Amino acid sequence: MSCILGSSSVQHAAKSNPASNDTDSWPLYLDAQSTTPLDPRVLDAMLPYFTHQYGNPHSRTHAYGWESEKAMEKARQQVADLIGADKKEIIFTSGATESNNISVKGVARFYKSKKRHVITTQTEHKCVLDSCRALENEGWDVTYLPVQKSGIIKMADLEASLRPDTALVSVMMVHNEIGVIQPIREIGAMCREHKVFFHTDAAQAVGKIPINVHDLNIDLMSVRSGTVPTPLVVGFGVACEIAKREMTYDHAHITKLSNKLIESITSRVSHITRNGDPEHSYPGCVNLSFAFVEGESLLMALKDVALSSGSACTSASLEPSYVLRAIGAEEDLAHSSIRFGIGRFTTEQEVEYTANKCVDHIERLREMSPLWEMVQEGIDLKSIQWSQH
């Protein structure tokens, strides 16, 4: 059985024409892993439940409640259809953090009299890692699996970590920062074989790649959500229906733009590293490190493009990404990374503009770097650092 738990809030409405609000300062948007603009068709489905169809779906004594309950059950079926689940397995929550907390802490505490071990990865979302640390404070053993340079775990490491008292394995499906896709089917099969519950945070995967919870051997999954308020649940259901119908088209569109962005930048600028395995990644999440450029300086220079240096949940920190450090990135490159998020409504013109601006500012910032000047003169910086040690 699969318990499907709702996640990050329904896609936010973005200003389609920021200039209409008496300002020309709004940046174009390339931060689709944080949130995405609301599809107008989803908004159309939601609006009646903000206005005249506002009944409480749990009110069983009048037509307002009946209509709201009917709409919620339709949404539950739409979500189930997208991921190959039974609608009875869908549970709406307030968001991804709650879903992940319920999954990790709930399974662990249910088995606390018999099992005291949980397995996750070093690159999981912060709310999963925080949940695991909370369990450690309660006396649980937690194994934090390392990842390879590709960002993907080794199945041999997982198998070696499984114990008779392992209650849960939690591994993210599509990574929110570097886009890599973990071998979910194989992980799920191994968990089934060892009679261990398997949870995956699929907030960045549902509606973007095909998913069937039964084929993938998933017991619990956190997905992009609607929440208990009827309008959001209805919107989530329609968003799932649209995603199922248009996933192939969306994927082709996003892949084309992703390739264009990468080619446009890397063909004109050297010393660029793509973080994560490009052969096993969601194309809409492109994480690049620019050597000899401070990531925060580049972000400030690109003030007319909405980008980030990693997960929105940790974007306030000036520390280099713990995810990039886990995949073996050098600290200076971890500090110089930018995440480009491409979505359904991203245009070719926006990608071209972003690539051109990136190239211009990278070249300008490097000209200000004494290290870059040394590289241009043919000096091997690694040999200098080595001799100093």
Lowest mean pLDDT among 94-103, 220-229, 364-373: 220-229
The CATH code of the domain that includes 276 is 3.90.1150.10
Same domain as 216, residue 271: no
pLDDT value at residue 332: 78
Is residue 34 within 8 A of residue 9, CB to CB? The reply is no
pLDDT value at residue 232: 81
Residue 20 lies in a domain: no
Question: Domain containing 267: what range?
Answer: 247-376
pLDDT value at residue 12: 41
The CATH code of the domain that includes 150 is 3.40.640.10
131 pLDDT exceeds 50?
Answer: yes
Told to judge if 240 belongs to the known catalytic residues of this protein, a careful annotator would answer no
Structural domain count, the chain = 2
Residue 200 lies in a domain: yes
Confidence at 385, pLDDT banded by 50, 70, 90: low
Look at 170 and 5; give whichever has higher pLDDT: 170
The token pair that represents 112 in the structure block: 């606390």
Instruction: Give the residue from 238, 255, 287 where a domain finishes.
Output: 238
Neighbouring residues of 66: CB distance < 8 A, sequence distance ≥ 6: 55, 60
pLDDT value at residue 158: 98
- DSSP, collapsed to helix, strand or coil, labels residue 208 as coil
278 pLDDT exceeds 80?
Answer: yes
Same domain as 354, residue 221: no
Same domain as 224, residue 330: no
pLDDT value at residue 149: 96
The token pair that represents 109 in the structure block: 């505490």
Instruction: List the 337-341 sheet strands across, edge first.
Output: 272-274, 285-290, 337-341
CB-count exposure of residue 255 (10 Å: 0-12, 13-18, 19+): middle
Catalytic member of 127, 132, 240, 313: 313
The whole-number average pLDDT for the span 261-277 is 95
Residue 17 lies in a domain: no
Neighbouring residues of 217: CB distance < 8 A, sequence distance ≥ 6: 185, 187, 188, 189, 191, 192, 198
Same domain as 227, residue 80: yes
Same domain as 289, residue 214: no
Angle at 128 between CA 76 and CA 241, to 5 degrees: 25
pLDDT value at residue 21: 53
Lowest mean pLDDT among 4-8, 55-59, 166-170: 4-8
| pTM of the predicted protein model | 0.83
User: Measured in Å, how far apart are the chain's first and last C-alpha atoms?
Assistant: 56
Q: Are strands 337-341 and 285-290 parallel, antiparallel or unpaired?
A: antiparallel
Task: Count other Cβ atoms within 10 Å, centred on residue 106.
Answer: 17
Instruction: Give the residue from 190, 220, 238 where a domain finishes.
Output: 238
Lowest mean pLDDT among 64-68, 99-103, 125-129: 64-68
Half-sphere CA count of 138, side-chain side, radius 13 A? 16
Same domain as 289, residue 143: no
Same domain as 290, residue 202: no
Same domain as 186, residue 272: no
User: pLDDT (tens digit, 9 = 90+) per residue, 132-167?
Assistant: 999 999 999 999 999 999 999 999 999 999 999 999
386 pLDDT exceeds 50?
Answer: no
The whole-number average pLDDT for the span 82-87 is 97
Residue 32 lies in a domain: no
pLDDT value at residue 7: 43
10 pLDDT exceeds 80?
Answer: no
Residue 368 lies in a domain: yes
The token pair that represents 137 in the structure block: 């404070």
Same domain as 234, residue 356: no
Same domain as 341, residue 286: yes
Residue 282 lies in a domain: yes
pLDDT value at residue 136: 98
* Percentage with pLDDT > 90 across the chain: 67
pLDDT value at residue 5: 58
User: pLDDT (tens digit, 9 = 90+) per residue, 39-62?
Assistant: 999 999 999 998 889 888 988 778
Confidence at 374, pLDDT banded by 50, 70, 90: confident
Is residue 220 within 8 A of residue 199, CB to CB? The reply is yes
pLDDT value at residue 84: 97
The whole-number average pLDDT for the span 88-100 is 89
Please report the beta strands in the chain, taking only residues with DSSP state E, as ranges in sequence order: 3-6, 28-29, 90-91, 117-121, 141-145, 166-170, 197-201, 220-223, 272-274, 285-290, 305-306, 337-341
Instruction: Give the residue from 192, 216, 238 where a domain finishes.
Output: 238
d(CA 79, CA 63) in angstroms, rounded, equals 24
Same domain as 297, residue 189: no
Share the mean pLDDT of the chain.
88
Residue 388 lies in a domain: no
Q: How far is CA 185 from CA 35, 189, 191, 351, in A?
A: 27, 6, 10, 33
Residue 280 lies in a domain: yes
Nearest Cα to 195, choosing from 172, 217, 221?
217
User: pLDDT (tens digit, 9 = 90+) per residue, 303-350?
Assistant: 899 888 765 455 555 567 888 889 888 877 888 899 999 999 999 999
* Percentage with pLDDT > 70 across the chain: 87
pLDDT value at residue 19: 41
pLDDT value at residue 14: 39
The whole-number average pLDDT for the span 201-215 is 96
Same domain as 357, residue 268: yes
